[in-house]
């Protein structure tokens, strides 16, 4: 069974002693609270903490101010940012007009002329030369 190390110091006044938790112990308790099916309240109670105190340690861990031990299992947490997808702009489709130049003759085909139409014109030009 693991033991918890606490350093107790006294404060002036009637309050209970102030407990100082080493970072290694905080990190171990936080990682225990991150296991699936475990609640912050039960972990805090088991270690004699207030739940909000443990929650603040968890926040410190998320911010990188408290280094957690390597996880015992494959469960890890990562920051995730969800953004609405930006619609992709539709490509502008420009149709160009084909031109066939043979010597001084230039033939401009209609926009979107089919391959069969272009082939027929090329065959006619080839036969004329």
pLDDT tens for each residue of 16-30: 666 788 888 999 899
Whole-number pLDDT of residue 29: 92
Q: Which residues contact 129 (CB under 8 A, 6 or more apart)?
A: 102
Q: What is the pLDDT of residues 29-60, one digit of tens each?
A: 998 898 888 999 999 999 989 999 999 999 99
Beta bridge partners of 9: 18
Of all residues in the chain, the percent with pLDDT exceeding 70 is 77
| DSSP per-residue string spanning 55-102 | HHHHHHHHTTSSPPPPPSSS---------PPPPPPPPP--PPPPEEEE
Asked if 10 contacts 17 with a C-beta cutoff of 8 angstroms, the reply is yes
Residue 109 has a pLDDT of 82
Reported as a pLDDT band with limits 50, 70 and 90, residue 5 is low
């Amino acid at each position: 069974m693991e033991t918890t190390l606490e350093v107790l110091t006294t404060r002036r006044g009637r309050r209970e002693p102030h407990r100082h938790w080493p970072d290694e112990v905080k990190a171990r308790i936080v990682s225990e609270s991150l296991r699936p099916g475990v609640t912050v309240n039960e972990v805090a109670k088991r270690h004699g903490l207030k739940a909000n105190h443990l929650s603040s340690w968890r926040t410190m861990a998320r911010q990188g101010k408290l280094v957690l031990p390597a996880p015992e299992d494959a469960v890890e947490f990562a920051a995730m940012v969800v953004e609405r997808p930006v619609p992709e702009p539709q490509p502008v489709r420009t149709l160009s007009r084909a031109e066939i130049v043979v010597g001084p003759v230039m033939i401009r085909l209609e926009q979107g002329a089919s391959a069969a139409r272009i082939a027929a014109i090329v065959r006619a030009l080839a036969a004329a030369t």
